[in-house]
Amino acid sequence: MSDQTLSRRNFLIQNVKLGAGAFIAPSLLTQNNFANKPVSKNGDTEPIIDIHQHTNYNKRSDDDLIAHQRAMGISITILQPAGHPKEYGSTYYGMANGLQADIGPNEAAYALAQRFPGEFLFAANEIPDLPGAITEIEKYLQLGAKMIGESKFGVECDSLAMQEIYKLADKYDVPVLMHWLYNTYNRNFERFEKMVKKYKRVNFIGHAQTWWAHIDKNQKDDNNWYPMTKVTPGGLTDRLLDYPNVWGDFSGRSGFNSLYRNTDHVQNFLTRHQDKLLFGSDCWDRTAKAEDNCIGTNLLQIIRKLAPNKTIERKILYENAKKLLKL
């Protein structure tokens, strides 16, 4: 390891090699983890809603998940189930089963939510083009699912199957959380705007690599999942967020990267979209410590650091999700 590993670029490259979760902003490492649980002036702990977690995430146990969420200081967690495992075209013959991370299906999220009412809530999901998918999702919506997601399947975003999902979301007045990965999950991002206009009453929540890369007007190479270049406002995602029914979920390395890649644009971005941005963690570590590469904790720190003011910080960490999910 050369001394150059201390440079920002090499730090990133080194950490990227460790995998998607193994990414920490060096400047954030020095902050202590007690920052996760700030106390307001009147002595209350400030509540946080995490809209994006999973059961059995890379085989993490329920007990470890619960401990992780409590260590992060989360008041309410929304569990996003996978579809049921199936060797099928839209799971790339099993590759995408368990959302590509061994994540549990509806039954698992629902069961955990029943054990901790109010602290853990659940979404509903299924492989969209599987026969019976709508019946399966509807069953869990009737049981109280707060949203449909995480929709991460090998389908076109404007396919008939996805449009059935959007119609169901409309019927139950719940948002749909979509994972966008170029040429892989929810394909044809450039055609999504049509869906946003067609299903005006549906709240769409965007997340993942292609979503966050496209805050930049100059995002050209969709195989560059975590661009580090300067952000020029006006990218497709930036424009989509101007629609009243489009929201952004910061969870995962992609959301973190959108805040970290260059901080010049962040205050402007957070100000313009302050009512539409949501905190999610989507990390599978067990400790919730920044030094253990906990994305959720790193996200909490960078949002608190870069939010233009306390009001916007509270909207992103709590108020926006409370309003959107009617909690």
Q: Which is nearer to Zn ion, 215 or 283 (CB)?
A: 283
- Residue 36 Cβ vs Zn ion, minimum distance, rounded to whole Å: 11
Q: Where are the alpha helices (DSSP H) in the chain?
A: 8-16, 26-29, 62-72, 106-115, 133-142, 160-172, 192-198, 209-213, 236-240, 252-260, 266-272, 295-306, 310-314, 320-324
**Nearest-10 crossing angle of helices 252-260, 295-306:** 30
The residue behind tokens 């929810």 is: 186
Q: Which stretch binds Zn ion (CB under 5 A): 113-121, 135-143, 155-163, 279-287?
A: 279-287
| Short-list 228, 177, 184, CA closest to 23 | 228
Q: Which stretch binds Zn ion (CB under 5 A): 113-121, 126-134, 149-157, 271-279?
A: 149-157
Residue of 25, 49, 157, 283 interacting with Zn ion (CB under 5 A): 283
Q: Decide: is 50 part of the binding site for Zn ion (CB under 5 A).
A: no
Residue of 104, 206, 248, 296 interacting with Zn ion (CB under 5 A): 296
- Contact yes or no for 136/100 (Cβ under 8 A): no
Q: Which is nearer to Zn ion, 50 or 238 (CB)?
A: 50
Determine whether 314 is exposed, middle or buried from the number of CB atoms within 10 Å of its CB (0-12, 13-18, 19+).
middle
Q: Decide: is 294 part of the binding site for Zn ion (CB under 5 A).
A: yes
Residue of 126, 216, 285, 319 interacting with Zn ion (CB under 5 A): 285
Q: Which is nearer to Zn ion, 103 or 312 (CB)?
A: 103
d(CA 307, CA 314): 9
Residue of 238, 282, 313, 319 interacting with Zn ion (CB under 5 A): 282
Q: Which amino acid is at 195?
A: M
- Residue 280 Cβ vs Zn ion, minimum distance, rounded to whole Å: 8
Q: Which stretch binds Zn ion (CB under 5 A): 135-143, 145-153, 168-176, 223-231?
A: 145-153
Number of chain positions touching Zn ion (CB under 5 A): 7
Q: Which is nearer to Zn ion, 150 or 238 (CB)?
A: 150
Q: Which is nearer to Zn ion, 179 or 315 (CB)?
A: 179
Q: Which stretch binds Zn ion (CB under 5 A): 106-114, 115-123, 229-237, 296-304?
A: 296-304
Question: Three-state SS for 45?
Answer: strand
Residue 272 CA neighbour count, 13 Å, CB half: 16
Contacts with Zn ion, residue ranges (CB under 5 A): 150, 282-283, 285, 288, 294, 296
